[in-house]
Chains A and B, each alone.
Chain A
Amino acid sequence: MTETLIRPLEVDPPRRDAPPRSRRRGEPGRSWRLHLPLALYLLFTLVPFYWMVVFAFRPTGSTALVPWPITFEHFDTVWNGLGFGVFFTNSLLVAVGTLGVVSVLALMGGYALARFRFRGQRVFLLALLCTQFIPGAMMLIPLFVIFKNAGLLNSLTGLVVADTAFQLPLALILMSGFVRNIPVELEEAAMVDGCTRLRAFFAITLPLLRPALVAVGSFAFIGAWNNFLFALMFAGRQDKFTLPVGLSYALGEFNTDFGALAAGGVVAAVPVVLVFAVVQRFLVQGLSAGAVKG
């Protein structure tokens, strides 16, 4: 008996610094239950990326599962042959332009919707929501005619305007939710200390809206970056097309250049992945901030 009591005491001291027993025992099971579905989901998500990378870097006709011997011929095809250099620049200009305009307008509109009471506010919010139900293709011909009369066809400015028009309603709704979550008392305190409303907004509210701006800006950027329909329809010149149009070149009427399609996919996906990698911290924060109101 004595022996059995002493032995655990001898072993116990080093264990004291370790986490509680029950937790240690529970970890392997929990870890397995958590990580297996996550690993499967990750596999499901990453297989298309793997496919894209393999096709982009392996020679035409190869069936190897790894891109070896590695080739850059498909990148040469898309960049020099298809003019992806121009498309990439156009996409970047349109996406950054849309991001900028949407962010400014969403900030101003969202602030007004959250902080002021005015006649027709609820109807306005409802109307904003309803615009989300209208597919872009339905608006194509009316928009085409308007843009033609306004001289906005064949220009990147026109694409920024079109993308902004379609991104703004959601951005306004999101932004008003974010602004509403910031206690108005903070601004009031600043105004008591002598700030104007504008100064209070810039000094107090804007820094707190950082995650919101990142979330709204990301949506606007990605929406504009991926927009195929407007880019194809409103541009009548080759040098005004954007990346999604360039990508669809690889799918011909009778033949498909999978190598060029995959290489184009890599070129189109990398900036978005990088943007997400940089802003995902703010994005998650922003999304959750917008989701919980109270």
Chain B
Amino acid sequence: MGFRRAVAVVLALGLALAGCSDAGDGGGGNATITFWDNNGGPGRTPIYEELIKRFEAANPTIKVEYVGVPSASVQQKYDTAIAGGSVPDVGGVTTSYLANLVGQDALEPLDDRIDSGPLKGKLLPGLVETVRQTAPDNKLYSAPSSGNLDVIWYRKDWFEAANLTPPTTWDELVDRAVKLTDPARNRYGYTIRGGAGSIFQLLTETYAYSGVEKFFEGTTSTVASSGNADLVRKVAELYKKATPEADVNNNYTQMVAQFTGGSVAMMHHNLGSYSDVTKALGTDKVGAISLPVGPSGKKTVVPNPTDGFAVFKGSKNTDAAWKFVEFLVSAESNSYWNEKVGQIPANTDVRSEKWIEANQPVRMALGVLEDPATKLVPAPVYLPQYSSITKTDSEPAYQKVLLGQLSAQEFLTGLADKLSAAQKEWEERR
């Protein structure tokens, strides 16, 4: 009897829950816009919540609904929403998948809106250019908000204890990495990203070393240049000599865990690790330097994907959506956001803020991007095949290089051939 009653209760409850209707749109304001954060999480969601609060206070007729989307699934979420015709009004986007969204005709071009408003001339030209280059028609489909840069995070305390200075060239990096390695104490001088996401990092290293200033000569990729191959060889030689053996499978989380766990002296990642490394080690123990240069001494930088905000064509409130984007990229909001996450503010008015002086990694990165001698060599993230070429095809090949089963030159030639073919196809379609 008891069992039957229990079954009846559970079934009734289930049916009641399944049948219950959910509350509709909260409404409240004259316009409600939806904002999808492309990297929702404990670090960033509270910052957006604060900014939304400020925006709603300043614009009482607009209500913003925040939706944090996990970064690993954001592309799939956007693709599904576009195919299903249910897009947000504003979305956080990076240049790594901007071309894909533009290709689906999902975004509003923002050139006119920027040129006719307070953001005109206020955005870092380098970041604006990387966003423009992503679109086939050279239009600005996202208002850049943050720049990122690949850096070498290093343990200041270990360097001081060993009486070493941070490296400025790749040869110095190799030297320091070997000197700081002591497997008996589970200490290694360097960590290599050999697993997921390895190729983009490797490309930033190779171009920083070789000083090659263009990714393509015509439609032929320069990836396989001899300077690039030299660097790949140098990194491969460091594997196991000055790095943990498990590095061949490292993705960024494992690298960061090794670094913050105190077993690695230097780690190549980007400014995005700022909060992780400073939270775990403290700002006094950890510093950031730009990627070392090669024998040419040239400062060539493969820029990281640029973060920004896009207005979706399917939005019913494009004006309100743009107002929100304008607010997010305004000097005050842009400063607040980038100070919290430790990235390069896109709004040039933020440069004079005190926090930038105090934040060594961001100050250093801004210095690199603003240095007239710096040459930006954007990777072709706009190619539809870019992801499959650099991940599916090339990551296993790079692991073979680290394990000594494939030469650096052969690996880079294979990668360059695929990128050249994709670029040619892209140019033809354009």
Q: Which of A96, A101, A238, A250 has the most chain B CB atoms closer than 10 A to its own CB? A: A238
Contact stretch, chosen from A7-15, A22-30, A183-191, A256-264: A256-264
Asked whether, in the complex, the Cβ of B73 is within 8 Å of the Cβ of A99, the reply is no
Asked whether, in the complex, the Cβ of A249 is within 8 Å of the Cβ of B45, the reply is yes
Instruction: Give B1-19 interface residues, CB cut-off 8 Å to A.
Output: 3-4, 7, 10-15, 17-19
Asked whether, in the complex, the Cβ of A81 is within 8 Å of the Cβ of B46, the reply is yes
- A219 interface contact, C-beta 8 A: no
Q: How far is the CA of A34 from the CA of B1 in the complex (A)?
A: 41
Q: Which residues of B contact A155 (CB under 8 A)?
A: 21-22
- A60 interface contact, C-beta 8 A: yes
Q: Which residues of B contact A267 (CB under 8 A)?
A: none
- Category for how many chain B residues contact A: 35 or more
- A127 interface contact, C-beta 8 A: no
Residue among B12, B70, B84, B86 making CB contact with A251, cutoff 8 Å: B70
Instruction: Give B244-283 interface residues, CB cut-off 8 Å to A.
Output: 252-253, 256-257, 260-262, 269-273, 275-276, 279-281
Asked whether, in the complex, the Cβ of B71 is within 8 Å of the Cβ of A253, the reply is yes
Residue among A82, A240, A256 making CB contact with B22, cutoff 8 Å: A240
Known: A160-B17, A248-B73, A253-B71. A82 touches B83 (CB 8 A): no
Q: How far is the CA of A238 from the CA of B41 in the complex (A)?
A: 12
Known: A60-B279, A144-B83, A160-B18. A236 touches B11 (CB 8 A): no
Known: A237-B67, A238-B65, A249-B45. A140 touches B3 (CB 8 A): no
Asked whether, in the complex, the Cβ of A100 is within 8 Å of the Cβ of B272, the reply is no
Asked whether, in the complex, the Cβ of A249 is within 8 Å of the Cβ of B14, the reply is no
Q: Which residues of A contact B12 (CB under 8 A)?
A: 100
Residue among B14, B40, B252 making CB contact with A96, cutoff 8 Å: B14
| B77: min CB distance to chain A, Å | 6
Number of interface residues of A (CB under 8 A): 54
Residue among B19, B70, B262, B275 making CB contact with A157, cutoff 8 Å: B19
Asked whether, in the complex, the Cβ of B276 is within 8 Å of the Cβ of A157, the reply is no
Asked whether, in the complex, the Cβ of B43 is within 8 Å of the Cβ of A157, the reply is no
Asked whether, in the complex, the Cβ of A206 is within 8 Å of the Cβ of B22, the reply is no
Residue among B20, B45, B86, B252 making CB contact with A144, cutoff 8 Å: B86
- A173 interface contact, C-beta 8 A: no
Asked whether, in the complex, the Cβ of A157 is within 8 Å of the Cβ of B21, the reply is yes
Asked whether, in the complex, the Cβ of A253 is within 8 Å of the Cβ of B272, the reply is yes
Known: A61-B260, A245-B70. A154 touches B22 (CB 8 A): yes
- B189 interface contact, C-beta 8 A: no
Q: Which residues of A contact B136 (CB under 8 A)?
A: none
| A85: min CB distance to chain B, Å | 14
- A133 interface contact, C-beta 8 A: no
Using CB atoms, name the residue of chain B closest to A257.
B42
Asked whether, in the complex, the Cβ of B39 is within 8 Å of the Cβ of A253, the reply is yes
Q: Which of B45, B66, B262 has the most chain A CB atoms closer than 10 A to its own CB? A: B45
Asked whether, in the complex, the Cβ of A104 is within 8 Å of the Cβ of B15, the reply is yes
Residue among A77, A202, A233 making CB contact with B42, cutoff 8 Å: A77
Q: How far is the CA of A156 from the CA of B275 in the complex (A)?
A: 35
Q: Which residues of B contact A253 (CB under 8 A)?
A: 38-39, 71, 94, 272
Using CB atoms, name the residue of chain B closest to A100.
B14
Asked whether, in the complex, the Cβ of B66 is within 8 Å of the Cβ of A254, the reply is no
| A130: min CB distance to chain B, Å | 24
Asked whether, in the complex, the Cβ of A254 is within 8 Å of the Cβ of B41, the reply is no
Known: A157-B22, A160-B17, A255-B273. A248 touches B72 (CB 8 A): yes
- A281 interface contact, C-beta 8 A: no
Asked whether, in the complex, the Cβ of B72 is within 8 Å of the Cβ of A251, the reply is yes
Q: Which residues of B contact A157 (CB under 8 A)?
A: 18-22
10 residue pairs bridging A and B, Cβ less than 8 Å apart: A63-B262, A93-B17, A100-B15, A103-B14, A144-B84, A145-B85, A207-B4, A232-B70, A253-B94, A256-B256
Q: Which 6 residue pairs are nearest across A and B when measured between Cβ atoms?
A: A100-B14, A254-B272, A248-B70, A144-B84, A97-B17, A253-B71
Known: A254-B252, A256-B256, A257-B41. 6 other contacts (CB 8 A): A101-B15, A141-B80, A236-B34, A238-B67, A248-B73, A257-B42
